[in-house]
């Protein structure tokens, strides 16, 4: 199995369970509590100024998640104070948390890179615009509108990943980003979780 799709070991999951994240009110909760009771589709995003994948996730229907007895959770590596604005801007209605220390990112083997889609490789469908368009859009939606958030979005070079955890300290699916445009297609991730689209 390739390193980027290797499932976390029981030891890794036990360690991760004790680590803390912040909710949109700044309250600390353990990672273990997020996955304890239900199958959890958990997406680690790169930073809080990067929204196209989150916009696609926002289109997943609550009824479909309920039918699959699953929940959708996003974790970002920026300041928790950005969560409410970010969810609003992306139209994302589900749970989101912040891991500003990036301890979970490190624990789950999420690496840093600024590389984009390699030449000759098809781009993911969530990349609706050109890279420059994405950059301008993410800058516009971020610091220009909210100057107090400049520098608080999280580390730009941090890559994310897409996982299916739970219930409890189990993981049935893992895909770590290999470059900045490498989230799993939403349709493929939902299929892995047994969630019907649209």
161-165/39-44 β-pairing = antiparallel
Decide: helix, strand or coil at residue 56: helix
DSSP H or E stretch at residue 165: strand 161-165
Asked whether 180 and 174 are in contact (CB, 8 A), the reply is no
The CATH architecture of the domain made up of 3-192 is: 3-Layer(aba) Sandwich (3.40)
Looking from the CA of 151 toward its CB, the CA atoms found within 13 Å total 1
**Digitized pLDDT (tens) for each residue of the chain, 198 residues in all:** 678 999 999 999 999 999 999 999 999 999 999 999 999 999 999 877 667 888 889 999 999 999 999 999 999 999 998 888 888 878 889 999 999 999 999 999 999 887 877 778 887 777 665 444 554 455 455 544 565 655 566 677 899 999 999 999 999 999 999 988 889 999 999 999 999 988
> What pTM was computed for the model?
0.85
The C-alpha atoms of residue 1 and residue 105 are separated, in whole angstroms, by 20
Asked whether 110 and 43 are in contact (CB, 8 A), the reply is no
- Tokens 């996003």 correspond to 74
Structural domain spans, the chain: 3-192
The C-alpha atoms of residue 161 and residue 104 are separated, in whole angstroms, by 11
Provide the β-strand partners of residue 162.
43, 175
């Amino acid at each position: 199995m390739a390193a980027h799709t290797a499932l976390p070991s029981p030891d890794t999951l036990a360690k991760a369970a004790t680590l803390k994240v912040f909710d949109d009110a700044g309250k600390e909760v353990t990672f273990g509590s997020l996955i304890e009771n239900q199958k959890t589709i958990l997406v680690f995003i790169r930073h809080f100024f990067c929204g196209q994948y989150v916009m696609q996730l926002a289109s997943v229907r609550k009824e479909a998640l309920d039918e699959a007895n699953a929940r959708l959770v996003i974790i970002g590596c920026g300041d928790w104070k950005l969560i409410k604005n970010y969810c609003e801007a992306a139209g994302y209605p589900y749970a989101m948390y912040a891991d500003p220390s990036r301890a979970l990112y490190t624990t789950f083997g999420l690496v840093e890179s600024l590389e984009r889609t390699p030449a000759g490789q098809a781009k993911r469908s969530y990349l609706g615009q050109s890279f420059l368009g994405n950059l301008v859009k993410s800058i516009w939606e971020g610091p220009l509108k909210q100057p107090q958030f400049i520098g608080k979005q999280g580390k730009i070079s941090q890559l994310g990943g897409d996982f299916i955890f739970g219930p409890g300290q189990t993981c049935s699916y893992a895909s770590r980003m290999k470059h900045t445009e490498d989230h799993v297609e939403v349709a493929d991730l939902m299929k892995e979780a047994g969630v019907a689209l649209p």
